[in-house]
Amino acid sequence: MLSREQELELIDMLRGVHPDEFGLDEELWTRQSLTTLIQRRFELPLDAGAVGAYLRAWGLGPREPRERACGLCVSAVERWVRSEYPAITRAAQEHLAEVYWIGRVRLRGTMPAADVISAVSSRGRVRFMITTPSVDPPLPRDFVLRLSGEEQRTVHLIVDGSWPRNEWPRRLPRRIVLHPLPSCGRAVAA
């Protein structure tokens, strides 16, 4: 296991950088790339399950759509899942595309504070990046583009209420389709 000091050092190492900057063959951080980095940096033989526990402690991982909504929006999100989500999954299947749920959580106990922007695929695969929070940061264009990968896969991205629509990247390639999860406009970053 990492000590608390090592965990904080790891979080600082990940701020604003991507795995390829460490010579790893990933566009965004994943459990596997994080496992490799920990083994290299701290010479600890952690397995992917132990690293997955860190990711869950950081607030990453699969969540039900209703967990992504503020208390005022739960019923709207539940209706949206029944009425809109099936069409998104059908369109994704037709284009051999991946569906990701995108959100943001605040890591507490770090100095300075850190935001973790994550995308969880419908298959449960977590991809993420760590940023230093600013006042009302927009959804990072680089993050969205990296989800499509070098092979420029088609992706459907369901964006939770962490960002209002006017904070979404503009002029994205057609292969990247953004879908808003219903939100009353309150940020849901934890």
Do residue 53 and residue 112 come from a single domain?
A: no
The reported pLDDT for the residue numbered 133 is: 74
Do residue 77 and residue 112 come from a single domain?
A: yes
Domain count, the chain: 2
Do residue 28 and residue 69 come from a single domain?
A: no
Do residue 69 and residue 53 come from a single domain?
A: no
Do residue 24 and residue 102 come from a single domain?
A: no
Domain end point (choices 22, 39, 57): 57
Do residue 81 and residue 173 come from a single domain?
A: yes
Do residue 80 and residue 169 come from a single domain?
A: yes
The reported pLDDT for the residue numbered 136 is: 66
The reported pLDDT for the residue numbered 83 is: 96
pLDDT higher than 80, residue 190: no
Do residue 143 and residue 109 come from a single domain?
A: yes
CA distance 66 to 179: 16
Residue 186 lies inside a defined structural domain of this protein: no
- Interval 25-37: pLDDT, tens: 999 999 999 999 9
Measure the N-to-C terminal CA separation of the chain; round to a whole number of Å.
25
Residue 52's domain comprises 4-57
Do residue 71 and residue 147 come from a single domain?
A: yes
Instruction: Give me the torsion for CA of 126, 18, 178, 134, rounded to 10°.
Output: 110
The reported pLDDT for the residue numbered 27 is: 94
Do residue 21 and residue 74 come from a single domain?
A: no
Domain end point (choices 12, 32, 57): 57
